[in-house]
Amino acid sequence: MAELDNDRLQQQRFARIVRGSLIFLLAFICYDIGLQILAPKPARYLHLVNLIGLLGFLTASYLVNQRGRTPQAMLLVATAMLGSSLMMALSNPFALPVILMMPILALILAMLYLEQKMARVLSVVAWLCMLLATILAYNVNLFNQAVMPSMEISDFVGLAVLAGIAFLVLNLFQSRLRNNFLKATQAQKELLQAQSVMEQQIIERTSTLSQLQQTNAEQTRLLAEVEHQRLIIRNLSVPILPIDQRTLVLPLVGSLDQQRLDDVRNQALQTISQFKARYLVLDITGVPLIDDQIALSLVRIIEALKLLGAKTILVGVRPDVAASLASGNLQLGSVTSAATLQEGLDYARTQSKALAKIA
């Protein structure tokens, strides 16, 4: 993604440069045509041909760049500038300083777009073009123009050495610049990859968090259901049945522990208070084992009910239970017992009728 953005940016920059150059060349060609009309000169024909050729190369490079092939387009521009420098050496040798700058300028522009190997080849070609343009400017006179003064061989060698050094320095600069660019591009790739990995991790962790939240919500719902079911089971384990307006029956079945005894006490107190009952028949026939601790808890429940004005009739007391109650040094004065559930109910009805007559 980063490479595509960088290539697109290079393409846009190159297109702006070429468009500006084309506008400048068109204006210069019109100017040259005007001069040729006003004052015809043979050398200006070659100069005009040079400008038109340069315009054609620039137009071709613009079209190639529009297809996304910016390095090839830049190579066309560099080739046009090198060829133009040779043509200018023939048509106007006195513009040699400008002519010698064109190969350097072509190389500088191309270095921004070409690979290192191609840039080196172009450096050699530009150096040869600079030397050839110098030779043409000093030794070829096509249109009988004013002749430039002769150039010493030492000056030519000096020019060749200086140009070679300049191109070598440009190549070294291009090499370092490109290496830095590649490192920056690689770092950007790694950064984008790390960002992609982090985004993927965030997505995965967000998904995991969402799943955990859903699981937590489901567990909360299940715990609520379990608690509700436990409440139902606890209520069913302590069933208090109304017989009439004054009498309730509480049959206990199964083993008793402290939690269940607490449930028996709470349920009995709430129901007695709700129905305003006077008698509770507590049937312990189905309880397999009653030790001293359970017997003490039952007596406390009976005493608590007595504080609410209800009398408890204990039914189903087996001999071992009676022995446990009797040997526990418990206060049994508030305990009324009956052998069977029916006897307990009859006793409660008799007491209830007597209470009704008194009322």
Strands of 241-242's sheet, edge to edge? 241-242, 247-253, 279-286, 311-315, 336-338
CA–CA distance from 194 to each of 5, 187, 202, 206 (Å)? 18, 10, 12, 18
| Higher pLDDT, residue 39 or 188 | 188
- Structural tokens at position 324: 């446990």
* For residue 4, pLDDT beyond 60: no
Task: State the chain's mean pLDDT as an integer.
Answer: 79
- Structural tokens at position 61: 């490079």
* Residues 258-275, mean pLDDT to the nearest whole number: 88
Angle between helices 292-307 and 258-275 (to 10 degrees): 20
Whether 344 and 315 have beta carbons less than 8 Å apart is answered as yes
* Residues 206-212, mean pLDDT to the nearest whole number: 85
Q: How many CB atoms lie within 10 A of CB 168?
A: 13
Please give the pLDDT value at position 327. Answer: 65
**Structural domains of the chain ordered from first start:** 1-151 (no CATH), 241-357 (3.30.750.24)
Q: How many CB atoms lie within 10 A of CB 311?
A: 18
Please give the pLDDT value at position 2. Answer: 46
Helix or strand (DSSP H, E) at 101: helix 96-111
Strands 279-286 and 311-315: parallel
Three-state SS sequence of 304-356: HHHHCCCEEEEECCCHHHHHHHHCCCCCCCCCEEECCHHHHHHHHHHHHHHHH
Whether 310 and 282 have beta carbons less than 8 Å apart is answered as no
Please give the pLDDT value at position 231. Answer: 64
Please give the pLDDT value at position 146. Answer: 58
* For residue 356, pLDDT beyond 50: yes
* Residues 277-295, mean pLDDT to the nearest whole number: 86
* Residues 219-225, mean pLDDT to the nearest whole number: 83
Q: To the nearest 10°, the Cα dihedral for 40, 43, 45, 47? A: -130
At 23-63, the pLDDT tens digits run 877 887 787 777 667 766 766 777 778 778 888 888 888 88
Please give the pLDDT value at position 359. Answer: 58
Q: Specify whether the backbone of 198 is left (phi greater than 0), alpha (psi in -120 to 50) or beta.
A: alpha
Please give the pLDDT value at position 334. Answer: 61
* For residue 7, pLDDT beyond 70: no
* Residues 185-207, mean pLDDT to the nearest whole number: 85
Whether 292 and 324 have beta carbons less than 8 Å apart is answered as yes
Please give the pLDDT value at position 59. Answer: 85
Whether 333 and 314 have beta carbons less than 8 Å apart is answered as no
At 70-88, the pLDDT tens digits run 788 888 888 888 888 888 8
